[in-house]
Amino acid sequence: MIRCKAPLRIGLAGGGTDVSPYADEYGGAILNATINLYAYATIEPLSTGEVIFESIDRKEKASYSSLKEIAIDGHLDLLKGVFQFIQSNHDTPLSCHLTTFVDAPAGSGLGTSSTLVVAILGAFKEWLNLPWGEYDIAKIAFDIERKQLKMAGGRQDQYAATFGGFNFMEFYAEEKVIVNPLRIKASIIDELQNNLVLYYTGTSRLSAAIIEAQQQNVVAKSVSSIDAMHNLKAQAIRMKEALLQGSLKEIGEILDYGWQNKKQMAASITNPLIDEIYEAALKAGANGGKISGAGGGGFMIFYCPNNSRYKVIEALKEFGGDIRRYEFTEAGVRSWTSK
């Protein structure tokens, strides 16, 4: 068995500025951090000539006896897309049973799709001894999702899952990405983790539709949308400085600043339920928060200073979602062989 896991991420600042055409025209900046929720991939080599795809969490399975039968048809497309890429660069037909599992629901805002692609690529790298570095894996994952499968989205998730840890990322034209790992004191990370509540609203969303609306606003030169993205890029720089300097008292304010601007990027980023949850958290003692990911649903984070996290958690229970315990992680994608 060849196995791999890659961590999901929380977006802390700058979300959306990694998406083209904004990143290409103006340059983007994001700060994110990986957590101990993962996407897993297992490859069992076969000698039958079959190719079997199985998603345990989505309860989907398909098997094929010929490579020509494997079509991108809305069913297990991420698994198929990675396999097609690998097979197109491999001289002989591959036969295997590829199994995946993700610790969070699809469309929940933690980068599940991109992280799953990274995990599958990591498993194939382990199996076939492919000469890829971290930037290679992240770029290939981006190309598979955005170009081969034509799924709308940004660039941060692939790099977060591959590198792991706290990273300040810069995005430029021609798909250039620079990952700057941050050396943050352990005590600062512990306090941030204690004060940052991760809440799942119980709803998922199609991030592609939200991202496409955001892209259209940039193409149309919407002043409010573009200004909001400029402010989010500045927010990422402020967040980086606050974490490196240990100024945690500023985190809530920085998150709230980002959230108020993010809502200007596209109309579907928020809705009455999300607004109600956000206000309830603030009333209970949080001083800032945001949607993790494109918006519209999924996970939210709230910064709860002093000892307010418990009151905030109680307030959030009224909305029927779930508080998710987590820890920040340093490692990115990891693969191994079980003999």
Domains 2-183 and 186-323 share a fold: no
pLDDT of residue 294: 63
* Whole-angstrom distance, CA of residue 159 vs CA of residue 70: 28
Cβ atoms 61, 54 nearer than 8 A:
yes
pLDDT at residue 292, as a whole number: 84
Instruction: List the catalytic residues.
Output: 157
Average pLDDT over residues 3-31: 95
Q: What is the DSSP string of 175-194?
A: G-EEEEE----HHHHHHHHH
Q: What is the pLDDT of residues 200-244, one digit of tens each?
A: 988 765 556 667 777 887 888 888 889 999 999 999 999 999 999
Interaxial angle between packed helices 272-284 and 309-316, expressed in degrees from 0 to 180 and rounded to the nearest 10: 150
pLDDT band for position 310 (cuts 50, 70, 90): very high
Least confident of 98-112, 142-156, 195-209, 271-285: 195-209
pLDDT in tens, 254-295: 999 999 998 888 767 888 889 999 999 999 999 999 988 766
User: What is the C-alpha to C-alpha distance for residues 246 and 188, in angstroms, rounded to an integer?
Assistant: 6
Overall average pLDDT of the 175-191 stretch: 97
> Is residue 107 helix, strand or coil?
coil
- Which of the following CATH numbers is that of domain 186-323: 3.30.70.890, 3.40.50.1370, 1.10.10.60, 3.40.50.300? 3.30.70.890
209 or 12, which is more confident: 12
pLDDT at 108: 84
Query: What is the chain's Cα-based Rg?
Result: 20
In the predicted model, is pLDDT for residue 134 greater than 90?
A: yes
- Domain edges within the chain: 2-183, 186-323
The CATH classification number of 2-183 equals 3.30.230.10
Q: What is the mean pLDDT of residues 313-328?
A: 94
